[in-house]
Structure 1
Amino acid sequence: MGDMAEGGTRMIEIHARVRYKTGTYIASGGGLRASCSAGPRMAIERLAEKLAARFDVPIYADIDWITGCEWQVLLDDREHLFAFCWQNGVIEFGEAVPEGALHVLDGTPFEVRDTIEATARLAHDVTTWLVPGVPEASDGKARVKALMDYRRWLIERLSVEGVA
């Protein structure tokens, strides 16, 4: 378990395990346990809720499957998060948009990650988010067009939903 301070924010990383016993998935990590019969991810999400309450960071829990029964839970108490992408279409998150990256959207960590996870494409490694259409683009001009189309579509979508 790590506690990292970045510009006044606290992110707590916890490695958790899930095991299956008598019809129930049991997640354990950070000194806590949670269970769910619906599946391993739901058990991890319940564990993340308990961990967020324990560490008083209720804003967002990013959950990644690592290998086998191993999971990583990242509790994040940042109030504002940016999603940005690179020319190859890889979407990343941070407290600012780095030079050379394209701003995709920003807001609370939950809004930003939820929107990206609902609209972007998951790469074959099952952890990397991609802008739809960029990996298939034939040249640089087509990649930039796909990036701009995705950003424009998100702005229109978020304006309709009232998040932007």
Structure 2
Amino acid sequence: MIQLPFAAESSPDFPRIPETVSMAMRNWILTFSRKIPEVEKLNMLFRQNAGWNSGQQFLRSTSDNGIDFQFPGLRNNAADAVVAWSVIHNEKEILFAVNLNPEKEAVAYVTIDVALHAVDSRMRNRYASATCPAELNVEVRNGKAIRLTIPAYGFVIYE
């Protein structure tokens, strides 16, 4: 279960994530949870959007090039992984993504639900730990995908 905001035990629990990525995710949560203003913003957003913690969760595959999609940590070093997951609640998809690289921003295509998004529709940014695009176009890649830019060691939410 997600339960982000914001304790060490609240990382997404997906069986496909290798242990090295799970450990990196826990370390990211511990570090991020010390950023009090960011945690306060997230807590407020999660209170305003209760459905973010009550839908079905899906681990999402990612790609550097928009062609070769894989789940986190299967081809890259855990420290370079983008971990992305969705919650689907009331026919809406909320996409969460973390960049586990503390030194550089990540640009990655992330698979999203095929049935919920029309081609050329947009997903809107609801939260970013640093400057990120306000909207992203839905593209036909691995079914459907969006191209995320995530700050170094950052977190984004799109809906």
Per the normalisation by structure 1, the TM-score is: 0.23
Structure (1/2) with the larger strand percentage: 1
Instruction: Compare CA radii of gyration and give the structure with the larger one.
Output: 1
Per the normalisation by structure 2, the TM-score is: 0.24
Structure (1/2) with the larger helix percentage: 1
